[in-house]
Amino acid sequence: MTTRRFLFCALLAANALAHIPTAVAQTFPRLGATLNGGNTTGLTAAHVALLDVMTLGAYVGWKNSAGLTASQLAAAAKLINPSLRVFVYTDIMEDTSPPSILAQNNSQIGSVPWWALTSWPGGSQVSTGGGRYAVNITTHTNALNGLNYPQWRANKDFGSFLSANPSVDGLYVDNVNTTPSVTADFAQSGSSQSPSTAGSSWRSGYVTYFGALRALSPASQQLVIGNLATWLVGNTITEYVTPAPVLNGGTMESVIGQSYSVETFAGWSGMMNYYAHVMTSVAAPQLVIFAQDAISTSDYQGFRYGFASCLLDNGYYYNDDAGNYNDFMTYDEYSFNLGAPTAGPNNPNNGTYSSGGIAVYQNGVYRRDFANGIALVNPKGNGTQTVTLETSYKHLSGTQVPAINNGQTVTTVTLNDRDGVILQRLTSQPIPDAPSLTVQ
């Protein structure tokens, strides 16, 4: 992960604390964050307790500005929000030379050696960019004390990040890609293999690492999640899901917001198909972080669009400010407890987007119902659309976008292209249970 600058905002911490009293009962919205970049020492327990899932770039010896270790920060945040799950970051497929990332000083990578070389054993190291070099994560690697690299690294990471931080829930593993990012002699055959050729042994190396890590971990730290940026529809993930999914979730990094995001090159349907693919490719509790990057702090329409899209399934929404990966922005919508998902006019069986239960509601607009409100999203390219609701709903009351979050009662809603909205169910209003609409 590229080093990024940390911008901590004390006001956001205060806002987060104000939201916490309903955190345990608040089924939705689900919020996540991947806080792996730059200087994260300004994070406080009150600030991160707003989240349901977070990953923390807590290198060996990390402490926040108040002197709390990762374990102490997690414990303090869980006192405020017991539903929070905290993961510590690791990256096993690359390192500096000599190894120094995450302050682990893994000198064995160079001395065994475990580098991925252009040809084994006398080739040169292969750069992954940013002053780092590829490590051969496959089980072809030489053994140290009877352990190949994935097994050895699981022991190392367990000691550095899990046993040292008993209050965290597991590890977040970066770059759990479908293939390596470079060409190298992963098979140690004397000549390089392309990323696609090496893909199966690469994925198997990760699977070996996950298994070894769980064999060491206590019941409270069995969860493992990862960076799933390449788990696109059509990319091979066989070893990660057969005979059963090996990860409990992960981050759909930059799924929306960047020039290279899935939503940019494949549109809304491509993004949502990727979302569904990831949800069905991970094991319970399916801790999938839907990451929207590089959004302007004043782009509330862009936020509503990404947030409402995320709400069509059971992922955890993360809005990062310009790809810094060291903080998250908060919105009026976070303060509203949507409650549990329910059946609705376009979803009579209370399904999710990934289950195929959510169909188009009206005019190309999608909808999901919750106990206390609804989410509507108008996909990119659908044009401005108006939907007529089956009964009256209220806009949320807020301060950020008074034209939208104004508390007004409505029976119709007009959504711009690439937009979304959250509406509040009126008190004592029954939840609709039939797919037919009655315009009132």
Please tell me the predicted confidence (pLDDT) of residue 260.
94
pLDDT of 439 > 50? The answer is no
370 neighbors 341 (Cβ within 8 angstroms): yes
pLDDT value of residue 316? 98
- Counting residues of the chain whose pLDDT is more than 70, the rounded percentage is 91
Q: Environment class of residue 402 by beta-carbon count within 10 Å: exposed (0-12), middle (13-18) or buried (19+)?
A: exposed
Contact in structure between 336 and 304 (CB atoms under 8 Å): no
Percent of the chain with pLDDT over 90: 87
Round to whole Å and give the CA distance between 3 and 348.
Answer: 46
The residue ranges of DSSP E strands in 165-246, in sequence order, are 170-173, 223-227
The token pair that represents 43 in the structure block: 């994070």
Task: Give residue-wise pLDDT tens across range 386-427.
Answer: 999 999 999 999 999 999 999 999 999 999 999 999 999 997
Q: 330 — phi, psi (to 5°)?
A: -115, 155
pLDDT tens for residues 23-46? 344 589 999 999 998 899 999 999
Q: Which residues of 404-435 are buried (b: 16+ CB within 10 A; e: fewer)?
A: bbeeeeeeebebeebbbbbbbbeeeeeebeee
pTM of the model: 0.92
CATH class of 10-338: alpha beta
Mean pLDDT, residues 7-29 taken together: 45
Closest C-alpha among 246, 253, 287 to residue 86: 287
DSSP 219-238: GGG-EEEEE-TT--TTS--H
Closest by alpha carbon to 308, among 393, 413, 419, 406?
Answer: 419
From residue 293, how far is each of 55, 260, 264, 290, 297 by CA, in Å? 16, 11, 12, 10, 11
